[in-house]
Chains A and B, each alone.
Chain A
Amino acid sequence: MLFMMIKTEEDRLFVEELYFRYRNLLFTIAYKRLHNEALSEDAVMETFIKAIDNLHHIDRENPTRARNYLATICQNIVTDMLRKMGKNPVVSIDDEDFGDVTDDYSDPQDMVISKEAVSIIEDAIINLDPKYKEPLILRRINKMSIDEISQTLDISKEAVNKRILRAKYKLKEQLEVKEVIKK
């Protein structure tokens, strides 16, 4: 299955270029959570194996998007590694109560799309649990379908939907905390 999606010499050179360009970044992402060099290097390798299988999702015209995609995959692999090591207890997504993103609110005119609101959301996304952040990024930045995200992250389509919904709920919570929106 390895290099299944690499069909031309151009593809191969593109993957090699991605590797040498972003391997240090991916290592840093992995090391931040794994605190182990060997495991972090394995995570980098796994990231590329996975990325190669999903090469068609990588935006060749936009290096930032390609980087973001690789980083998301790497985060997911690290989460998976931690779960296998028992360091990241698994919560059954189906049992979680996500609440309702669209609770009853007063007039949304109260909520202004301001720089402040965007900044609050930015910080909230940075601090989101990777479990929720990964599908959100793949959906919003890489414009992947639920089905594709499900395959990439190796979780059910239902779980993908619920995690995205949960991410949105958590972001909305931050807006409430900062009083950008009011119930």
Chain B
Amino acid sequence: MSNNNERLDKILDILIDEAVESALDKELTEYESAEQHVFSKEHEEKMQKIFNKHKRKLFFQKACKFATRAACFALAFLITSSIVVFSVTAWRIKFLNFMLDLSQPNSRFNYTDNVANSYKDENIEMQYIPYGFILEDKFIKDYKMRWKFNYGDEYILLSCSNIKGDFTADTENSMTENITIDDKEAIYISKDRRNIIFWNVDNVYYMLVGSINKDELVKIAEGIK
């Protein structure tokens, strides 16, 4: 009997599988032939809201995906570039120098006249000193005088002395240029990050050294009385 029941159960399953889809089809076909219902405005709005919400969500997902991809590309490019730059000595040095130059405070200075400093004592008057520089050291002995101004890592050094005869300056690997300071002949020397102006007035020799640019040095020199 139990065997019969099992077989009957199997046959019943087959019959159900045969009939279930067609039964539902039959039932739904009846419903499908019903007249078209005009959905209320409220319902349409609710459904539209659901679809729009999803549209926005998909757009946001797409944007996130794109941003992630772009970030990955940027990162890959950065890593590849770094490897290439650092593997070639010449490029590495150039790059590091460039980065170090960027870190110099020069670019932070405001050299406009209205915020510039000045300096005056019994020996000298400097009508123009770039903003931020302050006197750090002063040396006066016999005919030699020296003033040093600092601003962070930047410096300006002014030396004055009486010179009889010639003097020699080491200009190896440097750029030299003949300029004038208040109509007096002067020499401008630039080497690495060190710029120098030599000139003399009435047998007084002036040497202005600084890590700042040429224009600023000339401006300082022209302001010395």
In the assembled complex, B22 has its CB within 8 A of some CB on chain A = yes
Q: Count the B residues whose beta carbon is within 8 Å of the partner chain — how many?
A: 41
Q: A111 contacts B23, CB within 8 Å?
A: no
Q: B28 contacts A105, CB within 8 Å?
A: no
Q: B26 contacts A48, CB within 8 Å?
A: no
Q: B43 contacts A44, CB within 8 Å?
A: yes
- Chain B residue nearest to A109 (CB atoms) is B7
Q: B8 contacts A181, CB within 8 Å?
A: yes
In the assembled complex, B19 has its CB within 8 A of some CB on chain A = yes
CB distance from A112 to the nearest CB of B (A): 9
- Chain A residues with CB below 8 A from B55, complex form: 12
Q: A41 contacts B8, CB within 8 Å?
A: no
Interface residues of B in 88-146 (CB under 8 A from A): none
Q: What sequence of 0s and 1s flags, for each residue 7-48 of chain A, a beta carbon within 8 Å of any chain B beta carbon?
A: 011001001100100011101110110000110011011001
Q: B19 contacts A121, CB within 8 Å?
A: yes
- Known: A101-B12, A105-B8, A121-B18. Contact between A71 and B28, CB under 8 A? yes
User: Total A-B residue pairs with C-beta atoms closer than 8 Å?
Assistant: 135
Interface residues of B in 142-178 (CB under 8 A from A): none
Q: What sequence of 0s and 1s flags, for each residue 97-112 of chain A, a beta carbon within 8 Å of any chain B beta carbon?
A: 0000111111110010
In the assembled complex, B27 has its CB within 8 A of some CB on chain A = yes
- Chain B residues with CB below 8 A from A105, complex form: 1, 4-5, 8
Q: What sequence of 0s and 1s flags, for each residue 41-78 of chain B, a beta carbon within 8 Å of any chain A beta carbon?
A: 00100110011011101100000000000000000000
Interface of A is mostly: helix
Task: State the CA gap A135–B53 with chains docked (Å).
Answer: 31
Q: B27 contacts A126, CB within 8 Å?
A: yes
Q: B11 contacts A12, CB within 8 Å?
A: no
CB distance from B3 to the nearest CB of A (A): 9
Q: Which of A79-87, A136-144, A147-155 contacts B (4 or more CB under 8 A)?
A: A136-144
Q: B54 contacts A45, CB within 8 Å?
A: no
Q: A171 contacts B4, CB within 8 Å?
A: no
Q: B4 contacts A108, CB within 8 Å?
A: yes
CB distance from B46 to the nearest CB of A (A): 6
- Chain B residues with CB below 8 A from A1, complex form: none
- Chain A residue nearest to B31 (CB atoms) is A28
Task: State the CA gap A31–B20 with chains docked (Å).
Answer: 23
In the assembled complex, B87 has its CB within 8 A of some CB on chain A = no
- Known: A103-B5, A136-B16. Contact between A45 and B58, CB under 8 A? no
- Chain A residue nearest to B6 (CB atoms) is A102
In the assembled complex, A160 has its CB within 8 A of some CB on chain B = no
Task: State the CA gap A108–B55 with chains docked (Å).
Answer: 57
Specify which of B11, B31, B40, B46 is in contact with A25 (CB 8 Å cutoff).
Answer: B31
- Chain B residue nearest to A117 (CB atoms) is B15
- Chain A residues with CB below 8 A from B32, complex form: 24-25, 28
- Chain A residue nearest to B18 (CB atoms) is A118
- Chain B residue nearest to A72 (CB atoms) is B24
CB distance from A71 to the nearest CB of B (A): 6
- Chain A residue nearest to B28 (CB atoms) is A71
Task: State the CA gap A122–B51 with chains docked (Å).
Answer: 37
A-B pairs, top 4 by smallest CB distance, nearest first, are A125-B23, A102-B5, A121-B19, A122-B23
Given contacts A104-B5, A140-B20, 4 further A-B contacts (CB under 8 A): A48-B50, A102-B5, A121-B15, A122-B26
